[in-house]
């Protein structure tokens, strides 16, 4: 069972804009994602989902507006500073080194993030993603689905309080998708905030407590009602 996250955190987007020259990727997006919420971002290609996630991960600086993390410790309710939250991020690219093995990749990122007993944590994660037997193989010899499993394992190494996922089912087979759904369910139940972009309905989208549809960089739908959310998610990849 996944232990509860130490400080559940929410994300606040305030009038976030992103321009590339004259092109708007995001237009004054304001959102509040509460701690422990599971939010699915839907929308056509180029609607701004990836940009929003990369801004939330602090990888891209917004042209305007602000993104902040807020949270409180379960015990005392003390506010934690925004920079204390280090989100896990699964991107389009795998974000792992082809020239390192699965184990070396995970150990590298575990050590960089100061994970306690990194070898044990990495061994447990490799077991979880069914890559124990291939742990010493270079990632460049892996299939896309296996790489994606390493990518997801890297993102959840620290048991983050916020997990951002950009089309996380890319390359996964049905077994992989079922494993991911189970893992994300465990993390959501442990108090982790999930913000992810998806194309269409799947086992993963069934976890959502809220659906947001973006179009041309603006929020056009934001709902947590069952039927309306289904409509948002069904139209995700339109």
The answer to the question of residue 21 lying near other proteins (CB under 8 A) is no
32-71 residues in contact with other proteins (CB under 8 A) are 54, 57-61
The piece of 62-70, 71-79, 108-116, 197-205 that touches other proteins (CB under 8 A) is 108-116
- Could you tell me the smallest distance in angstroms from the CB atom of residue 88 to other proteins? 8
154-183 residues in contact with other proteins (CB under 8 A) are 154
Cα 224 from Cα 231, distance rounded (Å): 11
- Could you tell me the smallest distance in angstroms from the CB atom of residue 220 to other proteins? 26
DSSP 26-51: EEEEEEEE-TT-EEEEE--TTSSHHH
Q: Which is nearer to other proteins, 62 or 176 (CB)?
A: 62
Annotate 51-118 with three-state secondary structure.
HHHHHHCCCCCCCEEEEEEEEECCCCCCECCHHHCCCEEECCCCCCCCCCEHHHHHHHHHHHCCCCCH
Q: Which is nearer to other proteins, 100 or 123 (CB)?
A: 100
Work out which of 80, 92, 134, 185 binds other proteins, going by CB under 8 A: 92
The answer to the question of residue 97 lying near other proteins (CB under 8 A) is yes
**Footprint of other proteins (CB under 8 A):** 54, 57-61, 86-87, 89, 91-100, 104, 108-109, 111-114, 154
């Amino acid at each position: 069972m996944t232990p509860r996250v130490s400080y559940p955190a929410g994300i606040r987007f305030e009038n976030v804009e992103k321009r590339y020259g004259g092109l708007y990727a995001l237009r004054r997006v304001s959102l509040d994602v509460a701690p422990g919420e599971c939010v699915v971002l839907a929308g056509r290609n180029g609607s701004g989902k990836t940009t929003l996630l990369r801004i939330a991960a602090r990888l891209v600086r917004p042209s305007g507006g602000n993104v902040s993390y807020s949270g409180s410790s379960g015990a005392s309710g003390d506010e934690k500073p925004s920079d204390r939250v280090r989100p896990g991020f699964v991107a389009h690219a795998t974000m792992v080194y082809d020239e390192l093995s699965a184990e070396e990749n995970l150990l590298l990122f575990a050590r960089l993030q100061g994970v306690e007993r990194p070898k044990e944590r990495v061994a447990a994660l490799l077991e979880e993603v069914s890559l124990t037997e291939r742990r010493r193989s270079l990632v460049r010899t892996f299939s896309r689905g296996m790489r994606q499993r390493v990518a997801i394992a890297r993102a959840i190494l620290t048991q983050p309080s916020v997990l951002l996922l950009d089309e996380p089912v890319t390359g996964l087979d049905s077994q992989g998708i079922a494993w991911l759904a189970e893992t994300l369910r465990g993390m959501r139940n442990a108090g982790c905030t999930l913000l992810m972009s998806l194309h269409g309905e799947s086992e993963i989208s069934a976890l959502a407590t809220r659906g947001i549809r973006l179009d041309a960089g603006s929020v056009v739908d934001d709902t947590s009602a069952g039927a309306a959310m289904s409509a948002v998610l069904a139209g995700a990849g339109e």
